[in-house]
């Protein structure tokens, strides 16, 4: 058995014209499909009715309509022929109903109809969860801990088994509210009286954190006392609570970490055994993300790939593919770099070792100010790409950003930069920002959902097994993009067209770089 992926496409398609007319047309198709299904049910009952007539005593000379025993001068109904014709009509009408329903669903999916209303409903529910956690963090924690006991049983009902992936698979609709709520608490929004008392004690202490961090300033009792209900309400209109929390953690621990491992990044060129090919399509870009993080291309440490293109007009352009975390503490792509990359502070994002690594690699490769650049990255590489597009857009002309499994909803990427994101709904990493990606013409988000049960529109995922899994691998992201391209969405086609336009030109150089923190 394998895993399957279905997707929802989130994009702004109002520029195409009257989307409401398409919605009315699709809704009409669904209504006709329902009526055809009713007719199908009527024909399904016909064989049973014929059987009843066949065995009835409406004529004693026609026992069971058997022609061999029918007396002379009597005619029997062709029961077998009627039953056969009824079954044929059942198949035909059922196929027609399925075709109409499929056509309607494909229109709704391809043109992202209903996605906005669904997202609004999801936002309301998650803001309510966030509100409860912000105001009653301790009570909410006990409630969530108690509710988690039932997750294994829900997983057994839904999937027939329980695995650790069941938690994210059952809670994906509420992850944003949970993350935002605790992010808000950690970043200093209104909290319960018990936490206020604890924080006041910390703030009034004379202790100092490494790096000269002043606890009394971070946990000022006067500030804590000033937190009111209105602050909670105002916070509900924001979606960057998790990023604010990341900023606080970076402020608390950044100096301490830098003193231990250093903050300078030594960048050097390497020559891997297997270089990457130029990505001609977005599917190729996702393939390159997977290959870049493999041992043949990134031996030992995370590696950045920079490809130089020569345009037909002589102008040069660049494709920068950024790596995921590599697990080495002295690497600029270590896991702890995720926190500053998610910070709400542009300065903290720019000062992260991952950003220093990427900027120095681009400088060594010869990328000049004002050059056209396409950024590609998965997971932590996607965070780095979003941080670059949102933080140094004045230095380079970032044409297109392609990400996979990256929590980048609150990164300030300019509207003139195309963003193509693939996210698996049950992937915990994509929920770390506690928000949904913006919806605009230049930002397309493909949201995938994995299941062990195929649907008429699902795409199988390579390299998967019998049990429910966390969809963190690039095999899931690639399957989700393939599923989206098969939907016939104008938004997907537009982003594909723009990517191919942004990467046009002859590949004249490919460079690979690794880095160490010193």
Reference 280, options 307, 301, 259, 256; nearest CA is 307
Dihedral Cα 140, 186, 200, 141, nearest 10 deg = 20
Distance in angstroms (rounded) separating the CA atoms of residues 356 and 267: 9
- Write out the two tokens for 467: 């049990």
pLDDT at position 20, please? 64
Distance in angstroms (rounded) separating the CA atoms of residues 400 and 503: 9
First to last CA, the chain: 47
pLDDT at position 13, please? 61
pLDDT at position 193, please? 46
Sign, CA dihedral 341-346-352-355, equals positive
Reference 413, options 395, 387, 394; nearest CA is 387
- The burial class, CB within 10 Å (0-12 / 13-18 / 19+), for 457 is middle
Q: Please, what are the averages of pLDDT over each run of 10 residues along the chain (518 residues)?
A: 84 61 71 83 80 62 53 67 81 83 72 62 75 78 78 71 70 76 68 48 52 53 53 58 78 66 86 90 96 81 95 93 90 88 90 94 96 96 96 95 94 95 90 86 91 86 83 92 88 94 95 92
Identify any residues that bridge with 9 across adjacent strands, giving them in sequence order. 446
The set of residues, in sequence order, having a beta carbon less than 8 Å from that of 52 and lying 6+ positions away, is: none
DSSP string, 332-344: TT-GGGHHHHT-S
pLDDT at position 236, please? 53
Helices marked H in 160-238 — which ranges? Answer: 165-171, 175-186, 193-204, 215-218, 221-225, 229-235
Reference 11, options 329, 420, 333; nearest CA is 420
- The burial class, CB within 10 Å (0-12 / 13-18 / 19+), for 130 is buried
| 0.85 exceeded by pTM | no
In degrees, to the nearest 5, what angle opens at C-alpha 424 toward C-alphas 418 and 428?
A: 110
Reference 307, options 328, 326, 284; nearest CA is 284
Which residue in this structure is represented by tokens 């804590």? Answer: 224
* Other beta carbons within 10 Å of 50: 19
pLDDT at position 273, please? 81
Distance in angstroms (rounded) separating the CA atoms of residues 491 and 357: 33
Reference 209, options 240, 175, 236, 249; nearest CA is 249
Distance in angstroms (rounded) separating the CA atoms of residues 401 and 372: 12
Distance in angstroms (rounded) separating the CA atoms of residues 485 and 107: 14
Q: Strands, E, within 380-471: which ranges?
A: 397-404, 418-424, 443-451, 459-461
DSSP secondary structure code for residue 86 in this structure: H
- Write out the two tokens for 445: 């988000």
Q: How do 506-517 and 304-310 pair as beta strands?
A: antiparallel
Whole-Å CA distances, 167 to 99, 164, 170, 178, 189: 35, 6, 5, 13, 27
Q: What are the residue boundaries of the structural domains of the chain, listed by start?
A: 17-55+77-127, 265-458+471-517
pLDDT at position 365, please? 96
pLDDT at position 194, please? 45
């Amino acid at each position: 058995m394998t895993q399957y992926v279905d997707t929802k496409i989130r994009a702004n398609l109002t520029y195409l014209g009257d989307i409401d007319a398409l919605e009315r047309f699709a809704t009409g198709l669904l209504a006709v499909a329902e009526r055809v299904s009713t007719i199908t049910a009527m024909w399904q009952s016909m064989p049973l009715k014929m059987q009843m007539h066949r065995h009835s005593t409406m004529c004693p000379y026609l026992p069971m309509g058997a022609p061999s025993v029918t007396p002379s001068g009597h005619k029997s109904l062709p029961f077998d022929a009627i039953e056969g014709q009824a079954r044929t009509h059942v198949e035909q009408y059922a196929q027609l109903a399925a075709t109409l329903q499929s056509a309607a669903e494909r229109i709704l999916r391809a043109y992202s109809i209903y996605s906005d209303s669904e997202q609004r409903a999801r936002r309301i529910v998650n803001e309510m969860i966030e509100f409860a956690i912000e105001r009653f963090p301790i009570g909410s924690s006990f409630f969530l801990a108690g509710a988690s006991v039932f997750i294994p049983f829900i997983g057994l009902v839904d999937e027939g088994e329980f695995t650790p992936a069941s938690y994210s698979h059952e809670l994906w609709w509420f992850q944003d509210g949970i993350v935002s709520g605790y992010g808000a608490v950690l970043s200093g929004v209104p909290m319960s009286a018990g936490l206020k008392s604890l924080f006041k004690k910390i703030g009034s202490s004379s202790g100092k954190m490494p790096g000269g961090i002043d606890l009394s300033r971070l946990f000022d009792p006067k500030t804590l006392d000033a937190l009111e209900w209105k602050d909670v309400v105002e916070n509900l209109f924001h979606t960057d609570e998790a990023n604010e929390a990341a900023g606080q953690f970076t402020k608390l621990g950044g100096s301490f970490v830098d003193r231990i491992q250093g903050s300078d990044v030594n960048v050097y060129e390497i020559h891997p055994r297997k270089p990457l090919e130029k990505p001609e399509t977005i599917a190729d870009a996702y393939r390159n993300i997977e290959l870049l993080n493999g041992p043949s291309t990134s031996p030992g440490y995370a590696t950045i790939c920079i490809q130089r293109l020569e345009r037909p007009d002589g102008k040069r352009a660049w494709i920068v593919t950024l790596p995921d975390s590599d697990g080495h503490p002295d690497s600029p792509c270590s896991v702890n770099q995720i926190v500053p990359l998610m910070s709400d502070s542009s300065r903290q994002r720019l000062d992260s070792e991952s950003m220093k690594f990427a900027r120095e690699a681009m400088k060594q490769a010869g990328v000049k100010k004002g050059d056209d650049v396409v950024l590609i990255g998965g997971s932590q590489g996607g965070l780095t790409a979003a941080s670059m597009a949102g933080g140094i857009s004045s230095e380079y002309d970032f044409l297109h950003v392609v990400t996979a499994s990256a929590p980048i909803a609150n990164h300030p990427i300019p509207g003139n930069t195309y963003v193509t994101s693939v996210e698996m709904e049950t992937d915990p990493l994509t929920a770390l920002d506690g928000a949904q990606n913006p919806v605009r013409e230049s930002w397309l988000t493909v949201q995938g959902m994995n299941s062990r049960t195929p649907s008429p529109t699902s795409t199988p995922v390579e390299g998967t097994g019998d049990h429910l899994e966390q969809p963190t691998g690039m095999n899931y992201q690639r399957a989700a993009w393939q599923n989206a391209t098969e939907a016939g969405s104008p938004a997907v086609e537009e982003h594909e067209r723009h990517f191919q336009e942004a990467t046009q030109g002859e590949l004249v150089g490919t460079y690979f770089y690794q880095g160490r923190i010193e």
